[in-house]
Structure formats: C-alpha cells, structure tokens
C-alpha cells in the first residue's frame, strides 16, 4: 500500500523504481531506480521517506526533492516495510533477522551562509560577504499571506532593495534617487537624489549607506536622515554593489580598476588594474576578496594588501561572484557556468548553457539556483553543475534568487515573485506585482521585499512551514 502525505503519494514497483506522485493530480514528482523489486510499503518520518527493496537495501530519500540521503545493505531481500521508531529504523529481512538500524536526525538541514552578514550593523547585497543568497534570519516563505504595503516612487526600480534595522533602502534607476522606507508602515523616511542613474544595490554599515552610480561617483550618506557625508569621483561608472568589511569598502569600477578604500574618509588603501571593467559585485571569505571582470578573469586578492593570489581565465565576460564552501561560482556572457577552487583558482567544473549568465547565483550545499534571460529558473547540482530541476517563468528571470530554509525565491520580468521548494522545484506560490522585476527578492523578518519597474516597492507577508505531524 502507498504512503500518503499532504503533498505526495509514495509507492514502489516491480519495475525496481520508487516513486513520489503528486497527491492532487497523480503526476510523477520524482523517482529513483533500485536494483530489485520494491513491493514493501514506504514509510514516512518527518521529511524523510524510507523504502525497502529486494536488492537487499533500505533507502532513505528527502521526501520532497527525492535526493538520496543514505542506503544500507543487509543480508537478504526485503518484502516487509521498514518501521521508523525513535532513533531506529526497524526492518525484518528474508535472512530471518529483524534489524534495528540506528539513525541520526534530519540529514538535510536548512542551508547556512558562511557569512550571512558582516556584523550586526552591516547589511550587504545578496545576504552578506559571500554573496551566496542565503538568508537565515527571515521567516521561511512557504505560504503567501497579504501585501503589507506598497510604496510608490517616482522612477523605475532596477536595483535590489536592502533592509537594515526596519528600514528599506531602494535605489531608483533613472533619477538615481535613493529612498529610505519604514519597513513596518511603508512610509517614506527620507530620500536623496543624485545626478545619474543607479543600477546596483546599496550597502549599509555603521551609520552610513553607500552606493555608486553612472556619473562615476561613490556616495556615502547618513543612513538615518539621508544627509550627504561625502562623495568620491572615479574615472569610470559603477555597476557593482559595494562590499564593506572591517571599515573597508571593496568595489570594482568600469575604469578597469578594483578599489579598496577606508569607509571613514575614503582614503585609498590599494587598487588593482585589470584589462576590463568590473560588472560583478565582489565576494569575501576570511582574508581573500574575489571578483569577476569583463576581461574574462576571476581574481583573488589578499584583502589587506591587494596582492594577487590567483586569477582564472574564463571564456568571456564574467558577470557574477559567489563564494560557497571552498568554491567560487560565476557565469559569463557566453552561457558558461564555472566552479573554481577558492584556494588555488583551479577549475572544478564548467557547464555550457544556451543563455548568458547575468543572474547572481544562490548557492547551497546541494544546489546552485540561477535565473535565465529566457525565463527559466534553474537548480543545478553544486558538485557537478548538472541540471536538477527547471521551471519556466513567463519572461526573463535575471534577478538573483534568495534561499530561506527549504524555499527558494525567484523574480521575473513577467511581473511575478515565485516561491519554490528548493529541493524538488515544486511551485509553492507566486505573486503578481504591477511591473517587471529584475532585482533580487529580499526576505526580511516575516516578509519578502521586492521592487519593480512600475515605480513600486512591496512588502509581502509570508507564513512559515506547517508544524503538523505527518500521519
């Protein structure tokens, strides 16, 4: 007999496969091939489903995504179901023994960023120093509730918003105006207009908010009242978001230079000249800062001295920089995705896609999440780059995804915010805004904040996963 949960029906077959079927329509969600018939019933415990096979193994899978968590070999075939009890899996085998297999708790934990934020008073684009798109302090958005508020600005919002201490900082594109919005009410606190457009997110550290624009300036404002503290002029414009760590601003510029400068007064600390401009926002882990360039190279520098540690040459312009678990992940304008060893700059793997990789990646131990100009929202296997699942949105999905727990969020130019189960790719919900969305969604407390092309910023309230025990 099948095992049934609110989402799935789990059943094995004489064809040696185990299946998860959608409970609502009976369509296959995932399957796994064993080496023997599976005639025993499945058993569900939490987020794990267990199968026993005539190939002498008990299998444990993530019940939503189908990832194999573990398998254990026994003396003979299984015809009876495994039974989870406390910290054991009890199974009767054809070899005339009953086994009690000791197991640990959940195998797949909620993803953790290695540096979710710099300190309590620093908030950065893409969740933190590593730019891995993992948010650990927000409510996991398994269900959509209501729109808490929507704020109307005077211009298109291209850059991703940022939220720090209950204040939303949103940069409009054409006018270069930055808004500070009360997260709780949606009311404007202050705004400041620059002399040119801004397409990259701001960064908050201590008492300032910092961002660059197309008129070659890097602005530093008082984040509480919007007063200009100073602005620094450079030979080129900025497409990157500043990275701030221990009183230093790190940012690449289209003048082909990467800069490190003091947050306090803008004093130059070091700079590096490349052969192309910098579109990507830098990432930092421990004593190394990384950034991809339009000269096709990924660079790694000592963050204190600027000494080049290594560089890796890709096949075309590199758009992104993400660090996760010892590797740098990036994409280029020819559709290549790369995994590069963060210590020595050696290539781990590369995968070719049919679209240029402009979207920042969200990276967990299991998957790399990335959007495409043709509207496809992808999960790729982190270890190999192979495609795990894909969902086709209506238009381009180039805003960087965001991960909270077992949920991944994507935005699209079809005006929607999408929420998926991050392991299986199952669509949980979607919300339509009034304009195209090209920036990243920002999970914050019990909401998701997004900005669109129709001059709006939204705070959408969400609900976490159900705590109901499975029966």
Q: What is the pLDDT of residues 64-79, one digit of tens each?
A: 888 888 888 887 788 8
Dihedral Cα 38, 44, 49, 52, nearest 10 deg: -30
Assess contact for 225 and 219: CB atoms under 8 A: no
- Res 355: pLDDT: 77
Assess contact for 420 and 408: CB atoms under 8 A: yes
Alpha-carbon distance of 391 to 418, in angstroms, equals: 10
Residue 238 burial (CB count, 10 A): 29
Q: Tell me the backbone φ, ψ of residue 322, rounded to 5 degrees.
A: -135, 130
| DSSP letters for 132-152 | --B-SSSPP-SEEEEEEEEEE
Alpha-carbon distance of 383 to 404, in angstroms, equals: 21
Sign of dihedral through CA atoms 460, 465, 468, 471? Answer: positive
Alpha-carbon distance of 257 to 268, in angstroms, equals: 12
Residues 6+ apart with CB under 8 A from 369: 133, 361, 362, 363, 377, 378, 379, 380, 401, 403, 408, 410, 422
- Res 470: pLDDT: 36
What length does the chain have? Answer: 471
Assess contact for 203 and 210: CB atoms under 8 A: yes
Helix (H, G, I), strand (E, B) or coil at 450: strand
Q: Report the greatest alpha carbon distance in the chain.
A: 81
- Res 451: pLDDT: 95
Domain 122-463 has CATH 2.130.10.10: yes
323: enclosing H helix or E strand: strand 322-324
First to last CA, the chain: 15
Strand order in the sheet with 362-363: 362-363, 367-371, 376-381, 387-392
- Res 208: pLDDT: 95
Residues 6+ apart with CB under 8 A from 264: 247
Output DSSP code: residue 318. Answer: B
Instruction: State both tokens at 216.
Output: 């070659």
Alpha-carbon distance of 76 to 97, in angstroms, equals: 10
Tell me the C-alpha to C-alpha distance, in Å, between residue 271 and each of 211, 265, 294: 18, 16, 17
Assess contact for 437 and 411: CB atoms under 8 A: yes
Domain 3-102 has CATH 2.40.128.630: yes
Alpha-carbon distance of 282 to 131, in angstroms, equals: 8
Distance of CA 161 to the CA centre of its chain: 15
Tell me the C-alpha to C-alpha distance, in Å, between residue 432 and each of 65, 106, 458: 26, 34, 11
Sequence ranges of the domains in the chain: 3-102, 122-463
pLDDT of the chain, 471 residues: tens digit per residue: 789 988 899 999 999 999 999 988 899 998 888 989 998 889 998 889 999 999 888 998 888 888 888 888 887 788 888 888 777 788 888 777 777 776 665 444 566 666 544 445 789 988 899 999 999 889 999 999 999 999 999 989 989 999 999 999 999 887 889 999 999 999 999 999 998 888 889 999 989 999 999 999 999 999 999 999 999 999 999 999 999 999 999 999 999 999 999 999 999 999 999 999 999 999 999 999 999 999 999 999 999 999 999 999 999 999 999 999 999 999 999 989 999 999 999 999 999 887 778 889 999 989 999 998 888 998 999 989 999 999 999 898 888 999 999 999 999 999 999 999 999 999 999 999 999 999 999 999 999 999 999 999 999 999 988 654 433
Instruction: State both tokens at 157.
Output: 């919002």
Q: What is the pLDDT of residues 293-327, one digit of tens each?
A: 999 999 999 999 999 999 999 999 999 999 999 99
152: exposed, middle or buried (Cβ count in 10 Å: 0-12, 13-18, 19+): exposed
pTM for the predicted model, two decimal places: 0.77
């Amino acid at each position: 007999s099948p095992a049934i949960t609110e989402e799935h029906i789990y059943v094995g077959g004489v064809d040696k496969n185990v299946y998860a079927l959608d409970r609502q329509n009976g369509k296959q969600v995932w399957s796994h091939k064993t080496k023997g018939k599976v005639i025993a019933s499945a058993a569900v415990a939490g987020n794990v489903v267990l199968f026993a096979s005539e190939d002498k193994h008990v299998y444990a899978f993530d019940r939503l995504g189908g990832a194999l968590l573990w398998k254990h070999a026994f003396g003979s075939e299984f015809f009876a179901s495994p039974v989870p009890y406390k910290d054991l899996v009890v199974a009767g085998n054809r070899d005339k023994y009953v086994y009690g297999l000791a197991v640990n708790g959940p195998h797949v934990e909620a993803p953790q960023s290695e540096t979710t934020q710099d300190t309590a008073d620093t908030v950065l684009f893409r969740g933190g120093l590593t730019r891995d798109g993992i948010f650990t302090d927000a409510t996991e958005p398994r269900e959509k509730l209501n729109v808490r508020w929507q704020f109307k600005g005077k211009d298109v919002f291209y850059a991703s918003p940022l939220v720090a201490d209950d204040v939303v900082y949103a940069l409009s594109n054409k006018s270069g105006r930055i808004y500070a919005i009360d997260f709780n009410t949606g009311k404007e606190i202050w705004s400041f207009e620059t002399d040119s457009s801004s397409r990259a997110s701001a960064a908050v550290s201590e008492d300032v908010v910092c961002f660059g624009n197309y008129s070659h300036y890097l602005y530093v404002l008082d984040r509480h009242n919007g007063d200009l503290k100073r602005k620094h002029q450079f030979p080129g414009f900025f497409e990157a978001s500043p990275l701030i760590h221990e009183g230093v601003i790190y940012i690449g510029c289209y003048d082909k230079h990467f800069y490190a400068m003091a947050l306090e007064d803008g004093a130059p600390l070091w700079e590096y000249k490349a052969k192309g401009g910098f579109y990507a926002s830098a990432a930092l882990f421990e004593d190394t800062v990384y950034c991809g360039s339009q000269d096709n190279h990924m660079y790694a520098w000592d963050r204190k001295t600027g000494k080049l540690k290594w560089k890796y040459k890709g096949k075309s312009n590199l758009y992104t920089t993400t660090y996760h678990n010892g590797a740098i992940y990036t994409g280029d304008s020819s559709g290549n995705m790369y995994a590069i060893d963060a210590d020595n700059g050696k290539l781990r793997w590369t995968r070719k896609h049919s679209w240029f990789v402009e979207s920042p990646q969200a990276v967990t131990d299991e998957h790399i999440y990335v959007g495409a100009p043709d509207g496809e929202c992808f999960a790729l296997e982190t270890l190999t780059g192979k495609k795990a699942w894909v969902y086709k949105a209506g238009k381009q999905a180039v805003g960087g995804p965001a991960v909270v727990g077992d949920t991944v969020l994507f935005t699209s130019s079809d005006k929607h915010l999408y929420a998926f189960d991050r392991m299986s790719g199952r669509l949980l919900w979607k919300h339509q805004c009034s304009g195209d969305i090209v920036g990243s969604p920002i999970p914050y407390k019990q909401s998701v904040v997004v900005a669109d092309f129709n001059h709006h910023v939204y705070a959408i309230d969400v609900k976490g996963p159900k705590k109901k025990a499975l029966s």
